[in-house]
Amino acid sequence: MFETSNRILTRSDIDAAALDQGLRAHMLRVYNYMASAVALSGIVAALVASSPAATQLIFGTPLKWAFMLAPLAFVLVLSFRFESMSKTAVQALFWAYAACIGVSFAAFLLVFTGASVARAFFISAAMFAGMSLYGYTTKADLTKFSTFLIMGVVGLLIASVVNIFLGSTALQFAISAITVLVFCGLTAWDTQRMKDTYVEYAGTEIEDKLTVMNALSLYINFVAIFQAILHLTGQRNDE
């Protein structure tokens, strides 16, 4: 035991303090990875959108399907194989995913005005930060909402596919609005889940790879919120 001016610190107090410090450091690394991925996507989007040759090559040819499907492939590989992959391989796929999303984001810069894209980004960032902070600090168990949130994601995917054929503006508005609600909820739940899983993997060789996977989860949530907000509030260049 260790004495302080106020009370005696027990070994459990010291262990709890060390665990809390480790958790804070882990979450900081997660947010740094996530923010870096967002920055990478933005840079790639700006570079592609500013090059007529690049936009024609990507969006004017079947190559666009490769960039649309590649992120899904990256997520599937990371989700099912990350434990057996090296840290370097996990990081490489994470950055490749962010770059591919950046290529897709170039289309937003071509379709929407720069001001509306910036506005949607800052609104999304504020909502994301608020929900992640809530998930980190709340004492409520958010696990009970996870089933409904996952069902919401599945429902959104089905509705989005259906609307490809319907082309309904009203349905698209509803999809975007519900997307914001569902992925804000997922942001809070994912943040709380990360706190819980950190205790299990702290100090193991999986922790570093788990940092990247947690960043990927938050990044996906942010991207979904941003896209939905942009569809709800964005002003097109031709308007």
Query: What are the tens digits of pLDDT across the range 207-233?
Result: 788 899 999 999 999 999 999 999 998
Angle, nearest 10°, between helix axes 87-111 and 114-137? 140
pLDDT band at 15 (very low <50, low <70, confident <90, very high): low
Contact 27, 133 (CB under 8 A): no
Query: What are the tens digits of pLDDT across the range 123-177?
Result: 999 999 999 999 999 989 888 888 888 898 888 889 888 887 887 888 888 999 9
Residue 3 pLDDT > 50: no
Instruction: Write down the pLDDT at residue 223.
Output: 95
Name the one residue in this structure whose structure tokens are 């205790």.
199
Residue 9 pLDDT > 60: no
Residue 6 token pair: 């106020």
Q: Which amino acid is at 18?
A: A
Residue 124 token pair: 């999304």
Residue 11 pLDDT > 50: no
pTM score above 0.75: yes
Q: Report domain extents, the chain.
A: 9-233
Residue 101 token pair: 């999303």
Task: Give all strands (DSSP E) within the chain, no chain letters.
Answer: 2-3, 8-9
The residues near 149 (Cβ < 8 Å, ≥ 6 apart) are 182, 185, 186, 189
Query: What are the tens digits of pLDDT across the range 71-128?
Result: 888 888 888 887 788 888 999 999 999 999 999 899 888 889 989 999 999 999 999 9
Instruction: Write down the pLDDT at residue 102.
Output: 92
Instruction: Write down the pLDDT at residue 16.
Output: 63
pLDDT band at 239 (very low <50, low <70, confident <90, very high): low
Name the one residue in this structure whose structure tokens are 């649309």.
68
Query: What are the tens digits of pLDDT across the range 23-79?
Result: 888 899 999 999 999 999 999 999 999 988 888 888 877 777 877 778 888 888 888
pLDDT band at 8 (very low <50, low <70, confident <90, very high): very low
Instruction: Write down the pLDDT at residue 94.
Output: 94
Residue 2 pLDDT > 60: no
Among 175, 154, 151, 149, smallest CA distance to 163 is for 175
Instruction: Write down the pLDDT at residue 192.
Output: 92
